[in-house]
Amino acid sequence: MINGMHKARKFSSGCFLRGKFYVLGGRDENDKHLTCGESYDETTNSWELIPDMLKDMTFIIPSQSPPLIAVVDDNLYMLETSLNELRVYDINTNIWKKLGVVPVSANTTFGWGTAFKSMGDRLLVVGTSHSWHRKAIVYSCRPSPDVEEQHWEELKYWCTGAELPPFIHNCCLMFA
């Protein structure tokens, strides 16, 4: 058993980063969006509250997806779905730096129609283009927290022309 978090939450996201487990966002028992995060330290069996970790995130509707996050090279990245924007987290200042636009329409389904994952030293985003059709497109980039615009490459041999449902409920990546 581990100690409980400071805030009860549902529809949150979690990841391992620099030896700790982080939980971001979600909604409280009144369905209000939480902008705080928490990090769990296994050596002390304690949670540290991180106030305003998502203070700059735009919440459009109550049923918005959990935060879309991924870790690459010990950096935490987030797809800010309402703006289709990639951001990287500065753990020392509690600030998300903007890294440009992601080439999918995460905003049209409030984040539910998009998958955002890490794979080795790359970020992958699965979604639809900025047009009205629902054809699946997979993009990849090697993110750099020091570059303002990332270079996204379309992976044409993945999901070639497959029609996407309006919601992606779960997405796993496996590679050998």
Assess if residue 163 is contained within a domain. no
- Is residue 114 pLDDT above 90, yes or no? no
Sequence-separated (6 or more) residues with CB below 8 Å from residue 67: 12, 13, 24, 25, 54, 57, 78
DSSP strand E in 18-144: where? 20-24, 37-41, 46-50, 68-72, 75-80, 85-90, 95-101, 115-119, 122-127, 137-141
Assess if residue 149 is contained within a domain. yes
Assess if residue 117 is contained within a domain. yes
Assess if residue 162 is contained within a domain. no
Number of domains the chain is built from: 1
Say which residue, 9 or 133, is predicted with more confidence: 9
Assess if residue 101 is contained within a domain. yes
Say which residue, 65 or 62, is predicted with more confidence: 65
Assess if residue 21 is contained within a domain. yes
Q: How far apart are CA 24 and CA 17, in angstroms?
A: 12
Q: For residue 176, what pLDDT band results from cuts at 50, 70 and 90?
A: very low
Assess if residue 70 is contained within a domain. yes
What is the extent of the structural domain holding 125? 13-154
Q: For residue 74, what pLDDT band results from cuts at 50, 70 and 90?
A: very high
Kindly report the CATH number assigned to the domain that includes residue 38. 2.120.10.80
Assess if residue 42 is contained within a domain. yes
Mean pLDDT of 106-130: 80
pLDDT at 28: 92
- Is residue 144 pLDDT above 60, yes or no? yes
pTM of the predicted structure, to 2 decimals: 0.86
Mean pLDDT of 50-73: 84
- Is residue 168 pLDDT above 70, yes or no? no
